[in-house]
Amino acid sequence: MSVEADPTVQAVAAQHLGADPRVVFETADADAWLDSYSGPRLALAYVDCRPGKFHRLEDLLNLLEPGGLYIVDDLLPQATWPTGHQDRVDDFLAHLPDRLNLICTQLRWASGLVVGARI
């Protein structure tokens, strides 16, 4: 499942992954998709936008199957971040240990990752 709001970006994903019958491409806002998705639970969520990361994390985690992987990136400071974004990231990281249905670790690698598993 590739959920992407920008049709141009989605087209790039389809260009590379479109031959794989396992991949469904949803050109939609992720908040709207979270509201409407009713398919099978997911084995992996790689979240690269705010819904499912900085807000609605619980809604996203509820879509993961037990043992399903939760991965997010862009968590190490970047010069291009707008004012206030560091606080958003800090808050996200500070509250991850509070999640009773997720076990995860932070990787100080590449853009900064969190890799977790739904429990």
Ligand X SMILES: C[S@@+](CC[C@H](N)C(=O)[O-])C[C@H]1O[C@@H](n2cnc3c(N)ncnc32)[C@H](O)[C@@H]1O
CA angle 77, 59, 56 (to 5 degrees): 40
Q: Looking at beta carbons only, is 79 or 100 nearer to ligand X? A: 79
- The span of 5-13, 54-62, 89-97, 102-110 binding ligand X (CB under 6 A) equals 5-13
Query: For residues 107 and 93, what is the distance between their CA atoms, to the nearest angstrom?
Result: 12
Piece of the chain touching ligand X by CB under 6 A; list 2-10, 58-66, 83-91, 92-100: 2-10
List the structure tokens of 43: 């084995």
**Max intra-chain CA distance, the chain:** 41
- In 3D, which of 62, 64, 53 has the Cα closest to residue 30? 53
Q: Give the Cα separation of 70 and 64 in Å (integer).
A: 8
CA 103 to chain centroid: 15
Q: CB 47 → ligand X: shortest distance, Å?
A: 9
Lay out the site mask for ligand X across 49-88 (x = CB under 6 A, - = otherwise). Answer: x-x-------------------------------------
Indicate whether 26 belongs to the interface with ligand X (CB under 6 A): no
Q: Which one of residues 1, 14, 25, 29 is an interface residue with ligand X (CB under 6 A)?
A: 29
Selected binder of ligand X within 4, 60, 75, 114 (CB under 6 A): 4
How many other C-beta atoms are found inside a 10 Å radius of the C-beta of residue 8? 8
* Residue numbers at the binding site for ligand X (CB under 6 A): 3-6, 9, 29-31, 48-49, 51
